[in-house]
């Protein structure tokens, strides 16, 4: 079962040593995220994308223009935590 987080543009989360940030919501079914403020990924509700080894992310159901829900599927051994826009 995936973990789902509701994020606004600039919000992010960590998975292990990597920080993933919601860069831009495009619609209620699509968005752009970046990993470690580098490589960017286009995400959708249609398919999960591997953004970090063994970590798959997609846009979750019931996203809105204010909040994008990201569904995160990762091994239970990896620690996942929310970060604020000012956290590096």
pLDDT, position 62: 76
Which tokens in the block code for residue 82?
A: 């929310």
In percent, the amount of the chain with pLDDT more than 70 equals: 93
Separation between Cα atoms, residue 53 and residue 11, nearest integer Å: 21
pTM: 0.88
Separation between Cα atoms, residue 69 and residue 21, nearest integer Å: 12
23 pLDDT exceeds 80? yes
86 pLDDT exceeds 90? no
Q: Tell me the helices (H) and strands (E) count for the chain, helix number first.
A: 0, 9
Separation between Cα atoms, residue 20 and residue 32, nearest integer Å: 10
- What's the whole-number average pLDDT of the chain? 90
């Amino acid at each position: 079962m995936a973990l789902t987080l509701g994020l606004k543009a600039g919000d992010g989360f960590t998975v292990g040593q990597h920080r993933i940030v919601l860069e831009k919501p495009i619609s209620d079914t699509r968005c752009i995220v970046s990993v470690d403020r580098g490589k960017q990924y286009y995400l959708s509700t249609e398919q999960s994308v591997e953004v970090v080894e063994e970590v798959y992310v997609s846009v979750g159901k019931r996203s809105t223009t204010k909040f994008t829900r990201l569904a995160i599927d990762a091994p239970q051994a990896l620690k996942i935590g929310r970060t604020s826009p000012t956290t590096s």
